[in-house]
Amino acid sequence: MVISEIRIYPLKVPLKEPFVISLGTIYHARNLLIEIKGSNGMTGQGECSPYSFINGEMLEGQMALAPLLAKLWIGKNPLEIENRMLELDKLLSANLALKSAFDMALYDLNARYAQMPLYQFLGGANDRVLYSDRTVSVGEPEKMAREAAQYLDMGFQSIKLKLGGPVEIDVLRMAAIREAIGDHLPLRIDANQAWTVSEAVRTLRALEKYNIEHCEEPIEAGDLVGLKYVRENSPIPIMADESLFDHRDAIRLVQCGACDYFNIKLTKSGGIANAMKITAIAQSAGIASQVGCFSETRLGITALVQFVLANKNVIHFDLDSPLMLAEDPIIGGVMIEMDGRAQLTSDAPGLGAVVKEEYKDNDRVVLVI
Ligand SMILES: [Mg+2]
């Protein structure tokens, strides 16, 4: 089998309501879909969800760059995953979100070819039911508390709160939320880099009494010295998110002792191949991981769940992006219940999920043959 054609589609899906974090606001999922066709007629699909304020990538830029990467693969063997990904890295540095869509499509095609569900192709087992948290946008304390209470009623087993300063307001937000939902439900927080080092230490100490599992990315991404200081002075464990893209970042975080947890996202790591390297590092270093998402549809989330089923190191799940979408453009794959329960209900080969035909924008598709 060789790769005979690759189709590159923009994939736009409206959100139920705007998603607000300390770095910006999102109204639509504007994702990229890569579809690889083999000479035997089999196809593989991959998706990424670029967030320019996290990774510097945008759909428009990806639509321009993707054909250059696709051309490298035409006529080549899709079963040689390592060689194919090395070719992308040689032509184009960075752009890990874009590369992750190619990686996902390649893994989908490989697992389909092997007639295995992807988790099995990766050496895993479908022996876990995952419970996703639900994310509350940063905003007025009362509005956040109302939303958190609603998610508690819906049956979510943990809630993730977006914070973002000032310190006094973040403390008011947490106080309002605990008041509304009681003391028992585990809470996670994410500052998305909003605090300085001293603000982070001050805030995390002030939040100690609210029973918080971990805090994602308290300070500016990449400041590992600062992050280590925050970690050493925080009563709440620290999770690296924007400071952790690929496996190279993972080893640096371990070397610096800068975090307690990793937050792995396929759109950040460059795909499944690199994400497997991150969990190998995590496992070796005794660091547990969470998986997270941007605004992926159930296609990307299905790939993420299949990856989790092959990595017991991953113990926290932030898989709620499909619940934020107003429409579901995917057939098959992982089912996500309204209480966050995520389960792969079929052992169909590959991802076991495909994008519905009507969501493939045939006016804007780029075909590479
Ligand atoms: Mg985060």
* Domain chopping of the chain, boundaries: 3-116+360-368, 120-353
State the distance from the centre of ligand 1 to the C-alpha of 162, rounded, in angstroms: 8
pLDDT at 25: 87
State the distance from the centre of ligand 1 to the C-alpha of 350, rounded, in angstroms: 28
Please enumerate in sequence order all residues whose Cβ is within 8 A of that of 302, keeping only pairs 6 or more positions apart, or say none.
330, 332, 333, 334, 344, 351, 352, 353
Q: What is the reported pTM?
A: 0.97
For helices 96-113 and 272-285, give the axis angle rounded to 10 degrees: 100
Residues in the chain with pLDDT < 70? none
pLDDT tens track for 259-293? 999 999 999 999 999 999 999 999 999 999 999 99
CB 211 within 8 A of CB 186: yes
Alpha-carbon span 250 to 260, nearest angstrom: 12
* Cis check: omega of the bond before 166, within 30 degrees of 0: yes
Quick one: three-class SS letters along the chain? CCEEEEEEEEEEEEEEEEEEECCEEEEEEEEEEEEEEECCCCEEEEEECCCHHHHCCCHHHHHHHHHHHHHHHCCCCCCCHHHHHHHHHHHCCCCHHHHHHHHHHHHHHHHHHCCCEHHHHCCCCCCCCEECCEEECCCCHHHHHHHHHHHHHHCCCCEEEECCCCHHHHHHHHHHHHHHHCCCCCEEEECCCCCCHHHHHHHHHHCHHHCEEEEECCCCCCCHHHHHHHHHHCCCCEEECCCCCCHHHHHHHHHHCCCCEEEECHHHHCCHHHHHHHHHHHHHHCCEEEECCCCCCHHHHHHHHHHHCCCCCEEEECCCHHHHECCCCEEECEEECCCCEEEECCCCCECCEEECHHHCCCCCCEEEC
Sheet holding 24-38, edge to edge: 43-48, 24-38, 3-21, 366-368
pLDDT at 356: 98
pLDDT at 114: 98
Alpha-carbon span 65 to 118, nearest angstrom: 27
What residue type is assigned to position 298 of the chain? R
Alpha-carbon span 318 to 290, nearest angstrom: 7
Other residues' Cβ atoms within 10 Å of the Cβ of residue 310: 19
pLDDT at 22: 79
244: its two tokens: 């952790």
State the distance from the centre of ligand 1 to the C-alpha of 128, rounded, in angstroms: 24
Please enumerate in sequence order all residues whose Cβ is within 8 A of that of 288, keeping only pairs 6 or more positions apart, or say none.
261, 262, 282, 313, 314, 315, 316
CA 181 to chain centre: 27
pLDDT at 26: 86
Alpha-carbon span 141 to 151, nearest angstrom: 15
State the distance from the centre of ligand 1 to the C-alpha of 125, rounded, in angstroms: 27
- Catalytically active residues, by annotation: 162, 190, 216, 241, 265
State the distance from the centre of ligand 1 to the C-alpha of 67, rounded, in angstroms: 30
- The matching CATH number, chosen from 1.10.260.40, 2.40.70.10, 3.30.390.10, 3.30.110.30, for 3-116+360-368 is 3.30.390.10
CA 114 to chain centre: 26
State the distance from the centre of ligand 1 to the C-alpha of 54, rounded, in angstroms: 10
State the distance from the centre of ligand 1 to the C-alpha of 96, rounded, in angstroms: 17
- Does the domain at 120-353 match CATH 3.20.20.120? Answer given as yes
